[in-house]
Amino acid sequence: MRLVTPGDSAPASVNKYLLPHENQVITVRRHPAVLMVPVGLVLGGLIIAGVLSNTVASDAGAVISWIWWGWLILLAWFVWRVAEWSVDYFVITNQRMLLTTGLITRKVAMMPLAKVTDMSFKRTIAGRMLGYGEFILESAGQDQALTNVDYLPYPEQLYLEVCEMIFPNKNPQPEEKTLPPPPPPRRPKETPPPDDVPTAPAGDERP
């Protein structure tokens, strides 16, 4: 399985954090459900601003303008959240996990695969309906830079892939060796017919 972003390669903002000998296996954005709260706030603010504009007296123009300015600020915050979501990636290489976040202040949380001792997988009712899940990582150390990754798409597929990388099969079944096909049977060599026995001439016959 190989889950990557459109274009079949990680963006440059992620590639610069990979080591030369690392191979990316999975690169995904968080599920768009992470934007549910900002979308709800923008829509709710729009409804409230419209209701207040219709109920407030027409002579209170300054109050109406402040209401709409507040909604525009909320809309700008929503655009900022969408821009942050577009540059956040969850990356799994053959050696570690990385979570890159932040638009201006860039933050990279990392967990080596060799140090992961346990990984929990959680899906809420909303996650099962919309198609996202959450990983909770545990390691032998006390301080962990990467403890949980929420709003992950393809949760079951990602979980199986990560578990296979963390806990590889130590006793793989030997592959069955196929014998080569037997050679074709050899045809017996045809023996040439015997030559005629020469007879002595009649004049040489002895009495």
Instruction: Quote the CA–CA distance of 155 and 135 in Å, as a whole number.
Output: 9
**Amino acid 17: pLDDT:** 82
* Per-residue pLDDT tens over the stretch 135-175: 888 877 666 778 888 899 988 888 888 888 877 776 666 66
CA dihedral defined by 105, 115, 153, 134, rounded to 10 degrees? -90
* Per-residue pLDDT tens over the stretch 80-130: 999 999 888 998 888 888 898 888 888 888 888 888 888 888 888 998 999
148-150-155 Cα angle (round to 5): 110
Fold of 20-166: PH-domain like (2.30.29)
Q: What is the largest CA-CA distance in the chain?
A: 162
| CA distances for 4 relative to 45, 73, 84, 91, 93, angstroms | 36, 34, 19, 9, 12
Asked if pLDDT for residue 8 goes beyond 60, the answer is no
Ranges of each domain in the chain: 20-166
Which helix (H) or strand (E) element contains residue 93?
A: strand 89-93
Which helix (H) or strand (E) element contains residue 44?
A: helix 36-55
CB atoms within 10 A of CB 104: 7
Half-sphere exposure of 143 (CA within 13 A, CB side): 1
Instruction: Say what the pTM is.
Output: 0.69
* Residue closest to 91 by CA, chosen among 163, 9, 206, 205: 9
